[in-house]
Structure 1
Amino acid sequence: MRQLFNTLKRNYLLMLPPALFFFLSFSLLKLTENLILREYGISMTSFAGAAIGALIIAKVVLVVDHLPFTTKFSGKPLLHNVIWKSGIYFAATFTFRYVEQMVSFLREYGDFTTANQHLLAGIVWPHFWLIQIWLVILLFIYCAVRELIRAIGTEEVMRLFLGAGRGDTR
């Protein structure tokens, strides 16, 4: 029982940083969308999608981090790893979003081809590409900060940002 608790705690702590980052990011996107729609008299206020999206992305990050090929460029400059991992996370989230939508269409239409045709016909393409572009940017920023923290060390980052830790004489 203790081992299960430790595993759950470890996974929770690993999921927390990406979940918080993406929750804040998606909340800002949702706020922007709400402000734009308000201009046209459309009212939308739910931030539940931001929370759910953040949890999904955090879980995708957690799962993808355990794949053996994610550390392919660990000996190279940070930019290689940032671009590589951003691409992997993007492909994984894109696939997850597609499968998530496809499941509901499969229930309705029964076969894959018909469900896929209805899915592609029902997509609002400008909205879809807007979300994809933001997702690429956010994943890149997340990966860049994460790799920088790994290279510098958590304690040094905390000292630089907050002035806390050993050797702080200010």
Structure 2
Amino acid sequence: MQASQAKDFFVSEFKHMLPPTIFFIICFNVIALTVALLAEGREASLGAHAGATLAGMVCGKAVLVADRLPFFNRYPQYPLIWNALWKTLLYVAVTFAFRLLEKLLSAATGEYGFSAGVAEHVAHFEWSRFFAIQLWLLILFFLYTAFGELVGQVGRARIMQMFFGPVAPGAAEPGGRPAGPS
């Protein structure tokens, strides 16, 4: 691979990874703030925001890798909702498994040892908090995948034009109303 080809490859991969990374960094920091406000009535700690930012970066990379898997785009011939739901299910299943594994490893490496640590952690596990965060992840992954499927069908340039303009003078909105301020 030539140097220019390698540079083009890395630039392309970075551009592909940037939107989900930014999306998940923002969303995970909002979740961290929400959890802190609900649990403690104050702002999230710097460590919580750093962890949320790191998790957002990992999700950005995970999306990059997952998009390359052959079984990931399983329903291209069906309406967009099928692929959006399928990808959401995969993302949520993986995050569920990783979050449980993280909790188990944290308990196992504690001061009690593996079996006693896991038993102690299971006894005091906050399932409601765990599932509340998992519900947030479900919603966020669905929004991300549904919008991603839409962009894939309509095209990035058209979506950017629809959201940020410029709108052609005299263009009509759906329903026959003229575009512009009411």
TM-score by length of 1: 0.80
Q: Within 2, Cα distance between the matches of 1:38 and 1:93? A: 25
The DSSP-based 3-state class of the residue aligned with 2:72 is: helix
Q: Within 1, Cα distance between the matches of 2:108 and 2:145? A: 34
Q: Are the aligned partners of 1:82 and 1:144 in contact in 2 as well (CA < 8 Å)?
A: yes
Q: Within 2, Cα distance between the matches of 1:33 and 1:104? A: 19
Residue type matched to 1:66 in 2? R
Q: Within 1, Cα distance between the matches of 2:6 and 2:125? A: 41
Q: Within 1, Cα distance between the matches of 2:105 and 2:40? A: 32
- Structure 2 partner of 1:48: 50
Structure 1 unmatched runs, 5+:
none
The DSSP-based 3-state class of the residue aligned with 2:123 is: helix
Task: Please say which structure displays the higher CA radius of gyration.
Answer: 2
- Structure 2 partner of 1:143: 145
Q: Within 2, Cα distance between the matches of 1:7 and 1:98? A: 35
What is the number of equivalent residue pairs in this alignment?
164
- Greater RCO between the two (CA within 8 Å, min separation 6)? 1
Residue type matched to 1:155 in 2? A
Residues 7, 122 of structure 1: CA spacing in aligned structure 2 closer, same or farther, 3 A cutoff?
farther
Q: Are the aligned partners of 1:60 and 1:93 in contact in 2 as well (CA < 8 Å)?
A: no
Q: Within 2, Cα distance between the matches of 1:73 and 1:140? A: 16
Q: Within 1, Cα distance between the matches of 2:105 and 2:10? A: 28
Identity over the aligned pairs, expressed in percent? 34
Q: Are the aligned partners of 1:16 and 1:58 in contact in 2 as well (CA < 8 Å)?
A: yes
TM-superposed CA distance for 1:31, in Å, is: 2.6
- Structure 1 partner of 2:96: 94
TM-superposed CA distance for 1:162, in Å, is: 0.7
Q: Within 1, Cα distance between the matches of 2:28 and 2:87? A: 20
- Larger helix proportion, structure 1 or 2? 1
Structure 2 unmatched runs, 5+:
170-182
Q: Does the alignment pair 1:14 with 2:23?
A: no
Residue type matched to 1:100 in 2? E
Point out the more displaced range, 117-126 or 83-92: 117-126
Residue type matched to 1:160 in 2? M
> Of the candidates 92, 110, 131, which is equivalent to residue 133 of structure 2?
131
TM-superposed CA distance for 1:110, in Å, is: 6.7
Residue type matched to 2:144 in 1? Y
- Structure 2 partner of 1:169: 168
Residues 148, 43 of structure 1: CA spacing in aligned structure 2 closer, same or farther, 3 A cutoff?
closer
TM-superposed CA distance for 1:99, in Å, is: 3.0
1:77-124 per-position Cα deviation (integer Å, ceiling 9, x unaligned): 00111101100111122222233334444445776x666545533421
TM-superposed CA distance for 1:75, in Å, is: 0.8
